[in-house]
């Protein structure tokens, strides 16, 4: 399938304070962010023309920048407004928004304290992270060789570009084997997350999910935990060892891109797409698309 390269698309990107034509949003090859991964970003979904949990995403963008020791040269309100400007300029009702901030080209070396921080925000259509047919029956995950690092070795509480290098490697390896994604363990050998999403398991009517002590406590993860508790479903956040997967009945992953996606297989372990998974899938879609759901209900 042919995919239009991202540098050849049409529309506008918010770039350092102004909307510019998509193909003119360019930067120099000697940007510090490219060479030393001094870049943070967010992934946000647009539903019905509105960005879901925009303020929370912007707060995390600023916190990620703080962890990487640089300041975003705009206020949170300016970034929120810029995100909305991009969505309006692209005329997308549903889509994906990517704000990012990085150190520029003023200094080239490990130390870059005098580099100017640059910011860009783009928006594009992205209907489903996984194949829709595969998603309904549960995706298959490999178990990655790469592991989430010890928090003492990487800024794991930031959504920083460099932390995703091993995710790309793990996902590529999984796709070559015919899997949709991969489950990553942490440096202790405990279950951590998928390459770009948090993970949940179901046993005896309750949810079990790894404690996010070396990976992001995702905004979608927190949303799903809240939806589960609202429905009387108990949630256990704890250390989970890989062999425990043999005793779980259901499994699903969650994230801004993945939304709530059932999992049917992780390596040798098998799961069913059960009632709790389907309930939380529906609850999440109602939460992110209240206007769409209301219109559909009224039409019926």
Domains and CATH numbers, the chain: 8-124 (3.30.470.10), 132-288 (3.20.10.10)
How many helices (H) and strands (E) the chain has is answered by 8, 16
Q: Residue 111: which residues within 8 A CB-CB, separation 6 or more?
A: none
pTM over cut 0.85: yes
Contact assessment for residue 163 and residue 156, using Cβ atoms and an 8 Å cutoff: yes
Q: Could you tell me which of 265, 266, 288, 262 has the C-alpha nearest to residue 276?
A: 262
User: Is 114 strand, coil or helix?
Assistant: coil
Q: How far is CA 73 from the centre of its chain?
A: 24
Q: What pLDDT is recorded for position 294? A: 40
Range list of H helices, 26-138: 32-36, 54-67, 76-90, 132-137
Per-residue pLDDT of the chain (300 residues; tens, 9 = 90+): 457 899 999 999 999 999 999 999 999 999 999 999 999 999 999 999 999 999 999 999 999 999 999 999 999 999 999 999 999 999 999 999 999 999 999 999 999 999 999 999 999 998 766 766 677 789 999 999 999 999 999 999 999 999 999 999 999 999 999 999 999 999 999 999 999 999 999 999 999 999 999 999 999 999 999 999 999 999 999 999 999 999 999 999 999 999 999 999 999 999 999 999 999 999 999 999 865 544 333 333
pLDDT for 35: 96
For helices 219-230 and 275-288, angle between their N-to-C axes, nearest 10 degrees? 110
Q: In this predicted structure, what is the pLDDT of residue 131?
A: 67
Q: For residue 246, give both structure tokens.
A: 């043999």
Q: Which of 159, 229, 234, 291 is catalytic?
A: 159
Element spanning 238, H or E: strand 235-238
pLDDT of residue 132: 67
DSSP β-ladder status, 12-15 and 117-124: antiparallel
Residue 300, pLDDT score: 38
159 given a catalytic annotation? yes
- The whole-number pLDDT of residue 162 equals 96
Give the up-direction half-sphere exposure of residue 108: CA atoms within 13 A in the CB hemisphere.
7
Residue with tokens 């996606």: 261
- For residue 289, the model assigns a pLDDT of 83
Whole-number pLDDT of residue 3? 78
Alpha helices in 162-289 (DSSP H): 165-176, 219-230, 275-288
Q: What does the DSSP assignment read for 82-100?
A: HHHHHHHHHT-SSEEEEEE
């Amino acid at each position: 399938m042919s995919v239009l390269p991202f540098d050849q698309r049409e529309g506008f990107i918010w770039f350092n304070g102004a909307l510019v034509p998509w193909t003119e949003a360019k930067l120099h090859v000697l940007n510090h962010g490219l060479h030393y991964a001094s870049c943070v970003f967010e992934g946000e979904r647009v539903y019905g023309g509105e960005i879901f949990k925009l303020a929370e995403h912007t707060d995390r963008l600023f916190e990620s920048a703080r962890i990487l020791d640089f300041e975003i040269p705009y206020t949170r309100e300016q970034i929120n407004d810029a995100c909305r400007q991009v969505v309006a300029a692209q005329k997308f009702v549903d889509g994906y928004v990517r704000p990012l901030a990085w150190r520029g080209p003023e200094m080239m070396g490990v130390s870059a304290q005098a580099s100017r921080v640059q910011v860009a925000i783009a928006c594009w259509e992205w209907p489903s992270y996984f194949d829709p047919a595969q998603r309904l029956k549960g995706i298959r995950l490999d178990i990655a060789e790469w592991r989430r690092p010890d928090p003492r070795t990487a800024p794991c509480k930031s959504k920083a570009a460099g932390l995703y290098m091993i995710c790309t490697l793990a996902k590529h390896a999984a796709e070559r084997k015919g899997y949709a994604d991969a489950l990553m363990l942490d440096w202790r050998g405990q279950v951590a997350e998928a390459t770009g999403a948090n993970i949940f398991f179901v046993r005896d009517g309750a949810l079990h999910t790894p404690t996010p002590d070396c990976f992001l406590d995702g905004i979608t993860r927190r949303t799903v935990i809240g939806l589960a508790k609202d429905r009387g479903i108990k949630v256990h956040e704890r250390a989970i060892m890989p062999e425990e997967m043999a005793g779980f009945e259901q499994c699903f992953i969650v994230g801004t891109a993945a939304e709530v996606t059932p999992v049917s297989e992780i390596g040798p372990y098998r799961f069913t797409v059960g009632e709790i998974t389907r309930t939380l899938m529906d609850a999440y879609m109602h939460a992110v698309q209240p206007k769409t759901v209301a219109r559909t209900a009224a039409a019926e």
